[in-house]
Each structure stands twice: as C-alpha cells, then as structure tokens.
C-alpha cells in the first residue's frame, strides 16, 4: 500500500485549526517505533501491528483449515500447545516480513524514478510506504504499483513450489510443520497480491487503474474516476462485512474509503499548485512587529489586526512571534517583557521563487502556520500562510469547474485558472 506525503485540503485545514501523509497522508510516526533501515528507508512498527500480530499467532497456533490442498494453521499437528504457538509465531513473523518485502519493492522502484521514501510502517492493515510524491507519468506509476503485488506473487509461487516438492517426497513427521509453514506463506502472499490489486485507493490496484486512465485523460480526471471506483468498492466491502458480521472487513472498507478521499484531495492540491510559486500566493502587505515592542503592545496589535503571528523586523527579518509565545509571559510582566525576549529567532523562510508545492511541504513537515518570504538579501518581502494556500486552491478549482466567471483581483490569469506572476511590493513597516 502506498501513501503520498502531499498535503491535502483536509490536512491543511486540520493544521490551520491546530490538524501527513500523507497524506497523501496518514501520520503514524508518533505511535510507532523505529526498528531499523533498509535501502536507507526507516522501518517503523505501529502499535496496532502488535494487535494483528498476536491475532495471527493465535489463529495459526490454534486453528487448522485446509483450502485447495493447503493446510492453514498448526492446530491439528501432533505437537504440544507450546510448539504449535511457537510455529504460529514463526509463521506470523515470516508473513509480515514478506509484507515488508512487498512495500520495499514499491519503494525500490519509486526510488529508481527519483521519489524520496519517508518511511515504511507495518500496522494493523498491513504495510504502508510513505512517499513524498507519487510518480505522475502513467508508466512510472504503473511499474511502481505493480512491483509490490508481483513480489508477493513471486514469494507465494516459490513457497508453493517448495511445499509441493516436500509434500511429494516422503518426509517424517518432523517436516510437517515446515510444509504447513510454506503453505501459509504461499496462500497469504497470493491472497495479499490479489487483494491489493482491487482497483481501490490507496491499494495498488487503484494506482494501476489511475495509470491506465491517466494515459487517456488528465491526471486529475483520472484520479477522480479511480477514486469513484474505490468508494463504490469500499461501500460494497462495508455492506458485505456487516452482512457476514466481519468487523475487520468493515474497518478495511473505512480505511479504503478515507484513503481514496485523501488521495483525491492530495491530487487536487498538488495539481492546482503545480507550476506556481510563492510569489503568486503570498501577501506582500505584511504587518510586522519590532523586537523592542512590549508584549502588551504586541497583544494590542493582535487585537487590532486580528492576526496571531508577525514577522519581527529590525533592519531585516530577525525573528517571528506568535500568540502562543505570549503565553510564556506572566500577566504582571507583559508591560516590561519585550518581543525580542519571547520571539523565535531561527526562522524558517522561503523565497518568492520557491515552488508553492515545496512551501506547502515545509509547512506540513515543520508544523508551521506561516512562512516569511525573503529576497536574496534576506529582506522581508511578504508572508504566506496555510489559509493563503487553501484560498488559492479553492479559487483555482472553482475556475477550473467554470463556477467563477470573473478574475480574482488580477488580470492575465491563464486558462488553467492560475494567476500571473506579479512582482512583490515592499512590506508595511
């Protein structure tokens, strides 16, 4: 399963309110532990992974079911309960190792196309490869999406071949557990491959479907059609899960539905801002604070302008101060404490030529509400906030749909509904 780290409108709104991704993206790092690196990619275990791992250990160790000549579980072998659960543990760990191999296959192919992999996380729904972006060329996305299922099919095929080979030979009872283990790995990897090929985001089949559609229509239209298919499948999966009283299937359906919505939002954000720079979105009339202002004067300024943060300027940008910074000051000291005593000095900035997509990524990764914009001399020329990006995306989407017939304050917008490049005006001091 692949998730993009692009910011979606939902995530932007969440962070404005004080809300990976992911998302394209689902944020899991805070509840995960790092277990190592492979190909330079951090590997994490989410706490929910322990739930599904224990469930698999119990099922493999206590149950036994034969399907298509494959025995799934060690429940009926002639061994003690302890040995059965040890074998169940081994089978579970190996199976989840193959899920990791599935995600590594996605990641390896993506890296070949220049995509940065943030992490791979094993969780209750399997594995998630978190990427900064998804390749937009249909053939690249197709190859990346197919890499995981093909790896699972290969593992399943080899395991099944070994199982058949041992089964045809005359082996003693000591090898019965090995045959069952190979059968479990074969069956569940083939099942994993086919399940992931369902045409539903964020599963691999949804990306395969989009890659085919994107070769015939725009990337946004292809995404929206693929997402529509994913939503229908998720609803059907949920109804079936309720009918057969399978809560886990309902949870997967919910995950697929939400993942599909997030993918659509992330794509709209990235496509709307594609090719745009911070200069086209920033506000160049910037209200600033001075480092020698008192906290009381700062609070009065916030009350008057209804803003919660300001660049701090003294012959150039020297810091940034927000409402949360004022909470560090005791009430009886707000008349004597200066802004320079509470401001943040190491300010993350962007330039007017910085791409809008990169600026959004910085806001997301640094959990910031605003970014001062500086020129090559380090002088403040503007500021850009989360709300600025949300507003721009909404306007571009409205223009693309034809629901806005007048130009938003500027002549010269292009046919995609994007504003012209405008030189910045000096900020207000």
> Which residue in the block uniquely carries the two structure tokens 């970014």?
371
Token pair for residue 167? Answer: 């089964």
pLDDT of residue 368: 85
pLDDT of residue 409: 42
Interatomic CA distance for residues 90 and 178, integer angstroms: 10
Quick check: pTM over 0.85?
Answer: no
Interatomic CA distance for residues 323 and 316, integer angstroms: 21
Token pair for residue 55? Answer: 């469930």
Interatomic CA distance for residues 249 and 239, integer angstroms: 9
Token pair for residue 328? Answer: 């560090």
Query: Would you call the peptide bond into 4 cis, given omega within 30 degrees of 0 as the criterion?
Result: no
> Which residue in the block uniquely carries the two structure tokens 């015939």?
216
Query: What is the enclosing helix (H) or strand (E) of 10?
Result: helix 9-16
Interatomic CA distance for residues 75 and 85, integer angstroms: 9
> Which residue in the block uniquely carries the two structure tokens 């939503």?
231
CA 124, chain centre distance (Å)? 16
The 3-state secondary structure of 349-366, one letter per residue: CECCCCEHHHHHHHHHHH
pLDDT of residue 268: 84
Cβ atoms 271, 215 nearer than 8 A:
no
Task: Give me the CATH topology for the region 278-401.
Answer: CBS-domain (3.10.580)
Question: CA nearest 11: which of 352, 230, 261?
Answer: 261
The 3-state secondary structure of 158-213, one letter per residue: HHHHHHHHHHHCCCCHHHHHHHHHHHHHHHHHHHHHHHHCCCCCCCHHHHHHHHHH
Domain definitions of the chain by residue range: 2-273, 278-401
Interatomic CA distance for residues 338 and 288, integer angstroms: 15
Interatomic CA distance for residues 329 and 293, integer angstroms: 14
Interatomic CA distance for residues 261 and 8, integer angstroms: 10
Residue-wise DSSP of 307-355: -SEEEEESSSEEEEEEHHHHTTS-GGGTTT-BHHHHSBSS---B-TTSB
Interatomic CA distance for residues 324 and 341, integer angstroms: 14
Interatomic CA distance for residues 133 and 147, integer angstroms: 17
Cβ atoms 25, 4 nearer than 8 A:
yes
Could you list the active site residues?
A: 103
pLDDT of residue 29: 53
Question: CA nearest 311: which of 364, 380, 367?
Answer: 380
Indicate the pairing of strand 117-123 with strand 70-72: unpaired
Interatomic CA distance for residues 64 and 180, integer angstroms: 10
What values do phi and psi take at 424, rounded to 5? Answer: -75, 150
Interatomic CA distance for residues 300 and 198, integer angstroms: 57
Q: What is the pLDDT along the chain (429 residues), one digit of tens a residue?
A: 565 544 333 344 333 322 233 333 344 455 789 999 999 999 999 998 999 999 999 999 999 999 988 999 999 998 899 999 999 999 999 999 999 999 999 999 999 999 989 899 998 878 888 887 788 899 999 999 999 999 999 999 999 999 998 877 766 656 889 999 999 999 999 999 999 999 988 789 999 999 999 999 988 889 999 999 999 999 999 999 999 988 888 988 998 999 888 888 888 888 888 889 999 999 888 899 999 999 999 999 999 998 888 999 998 899 999 999 999 899 999 999 999 999 999 899 999 999 998 998 898 878 888 899 999 888 899 999 988 998 998 888 888 776 544 444 444 444 445 555 554 444 444
Interatomic CA distance for residues 299 and 304, integer angstroms: 9
pLDDT of residue 174: 67
pLDDT of residue 27: 46
Query: What is the enclosing helix (H) or strand (E) of 242?
Result: helix 219-243
pLDDT of residue 411: 42
Cβ atoms 395, 406 nearer than 8 A:
no
Residue-wise DSSP of 96-144: HHHHHHHHHHHHHHHHHTTPPEEEEEEETTEEEEEES----SHHHHHHH
Torsion from C-alpha of 360, 362, 365, 370, nearest 10 degrees: -80
Interatomic CA distance for residues 65 and 251, integer angstroms: 24
pLDDT of residue 407: 44
């Amino acid at each position: 399963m692949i998730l993009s780290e692009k910011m979606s409108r939902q995530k932007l709104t969440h962070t404005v309110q004080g809300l990976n991704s992911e998302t394209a993206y689902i944020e899991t790092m805070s509840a995960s532990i790092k277990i190592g690196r492979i190909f330079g990619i951090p590997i994490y275990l989410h706490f929910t992974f322990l739930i599904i791992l224990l469930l698999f250990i119990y099922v493999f160790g206590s149950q036994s079911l034969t399907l298509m000549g494959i025995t799934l579980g060690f429940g009926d072998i002639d061994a003690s309960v302890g040995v059965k659960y040890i074998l169940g543990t081994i089978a579970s760990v190996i199976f989840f190792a193959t899920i990791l191999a599935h995600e590594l296959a996605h990641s390896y192919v993506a890296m070949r196309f220049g995509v940065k992999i943030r992490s791979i996380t094993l969780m209750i729904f399997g594995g998630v490869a978190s990427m900064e972006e998804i390749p937009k060329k249909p053939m690249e996305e197709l190859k990346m999406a197919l890499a995981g299922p093909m790896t699972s099919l290969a593992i399943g095929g080899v395991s099944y071949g070994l199982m058949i080979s041992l089964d045809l030979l005359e082996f003693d009872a000591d090898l019965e557990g090995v045959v069952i283990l190979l059968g479990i790995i074969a069956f569940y990897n083939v099942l994993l491959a086919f399940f992931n090929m369902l045409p539903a985001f964020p599963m691999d089949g949804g990306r395969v479907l989009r890659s085919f559609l994107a070769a015939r229509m725009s990337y946004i239209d292809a995404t929206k059609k693929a997402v529509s298919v994913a939503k229908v499948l998720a609803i059907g999966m949920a109804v079936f899960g309720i009918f057969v009283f399978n809560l886990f299937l309902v949870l997967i359906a919910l995950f697929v539905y939400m993942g599909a919505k997030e993918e659509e939002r992330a794509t709209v954000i990235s496509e709307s801002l594609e090719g745009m720079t911070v200069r086209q979105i920033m506000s160049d009339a910037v209200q600033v604070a001075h480092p020698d202002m008192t906290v009381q004067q700062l609070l009065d300024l916030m009350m008057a302008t209804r803003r919660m943060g300001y660049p701090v300027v003294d012959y150039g940008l020297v810091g940034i101060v927000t409402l949360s910074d004022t909470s560090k000051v005791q009430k009886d000291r707000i008349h004597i404490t200066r802004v320079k005593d509470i401001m943040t000095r190491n300010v993350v900035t962007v330039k007017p030529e910085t791409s809008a997509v990169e600026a959004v990524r910085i806001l997301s990764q640094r959990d910031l509400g605003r970014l001062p914009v500086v020129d090559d001399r380090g002088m403040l020329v503007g500021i850009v906030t989360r709300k600025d990006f949300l507003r721009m995306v909404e306007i571009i989407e409205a223009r693309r749909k034809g629901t806005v017939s007048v130009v938003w304050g500027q002549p010269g917008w292009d046919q995609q509904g994007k504003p012209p490049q405008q030189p910045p005006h000096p900020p207000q001091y």
